[in-house]
Structures are given as structure tokens and as C-alpha cells.
Amino acid sequence: MLYTVTLKKNHEFRRLYAKGQSAAGAYLVLYAKKTRRGGNRVGFTVSTKLGKAVTRNRVRRRLREIYRLHEAELLPGADMVVVARGRAVGADYWQLDRAFLSACKKLKLLREAKP
């Protein structure tokens, strides 16, 4: 993640849950809040309800990779938390990719496409 810092502190996650905007889909929920920083900060959450460590880490790795590949398309200056839902365990990579992009589009986090 070239331009991104990861969120690690609990109070940062809780602040986004309370004050950020959310976009929910079948596979994930994206919480985002605009900031005045030059770059983005992102955190990933996968609950223990989704399975054992191997399963949770696979979902987390996929979400991190999706974010990394689309990082250049995102507008700078936002804090984001991506929360995986139960259906994300059985989803393939492309379903998670579409879910992430549609959530970003709902929250207006994507750059405008140049013609």
C-alpha cells in the first residue's frame, strides 16, 4: 500500500463506526470519513464469527489486495474501515472486488474517470 497508512488503534475504528458514513453490501460494509490528510488510512475487520484463523486471514488478505490494486483510483484524504460479512467467506475474489468498488462508489471515494 503505497499511499496508505493502516489503522490499528481501537479508538480510530470506533470513531469511524460512530461518525463515518457507511455503505453496506452482501459481502462487506465500508465505513468512511473524509479527513484533511494527504493520504488515506484504512483498517480491515474480520470477526471471529466468520471462522477460524485460516479462514479469517484468507478473507483479510483478499480485502487488502483488492484495496492495494484500487488504491490509485481512490481520492486521497479519507479514513476507511472495511468490515467483512459472513457471506465474504464463500465469495470469490471478483465478487469481493465488485462489492468493494460499489461501496466506494456509493460513498463517492472514487476519482472521476477521464475520457
Q: What is the pLDDT of residues 4-27, one digit of tens each?
A: 899 999 999 999 999 999 999 999
Query: Taken in order 58, 61, 65, 66, is the CA torsion positive or negative?
Result: positive
Q: What is the pLDDT of residues 46-63, one digit of tens each?
A: 999 999 999 999 999 999
Q: What is the pLDDT of residues 88-100, one digit of tens each?
A: 999 999 999 999 9
**Of 38, 33, 43, 34, the residue nearest 7 (C-alpha):** 43
pTM for the whole thing?
Answer: 0.92
Query: In the structure, what pLDDT confidence band is assigned to residue 115 with cuts at 50, 70 and 90?
Result: low
End-to-end CA distance of the chain: 27
Domains and CATH numbers, the chain: 4-106 (3.30.230.10)
Long-range pairs for 48-55 at CB < 8 Å and ≥24 separation? 49/86, 50/84, 50/86, 50/88, 50/89, 51/89, 55/89
Residue 64: predicted pLDDT? 96
What does the alpha-carbon distance between residue 30 and residue 34 come to, in Å, rounded to a whole number? 13
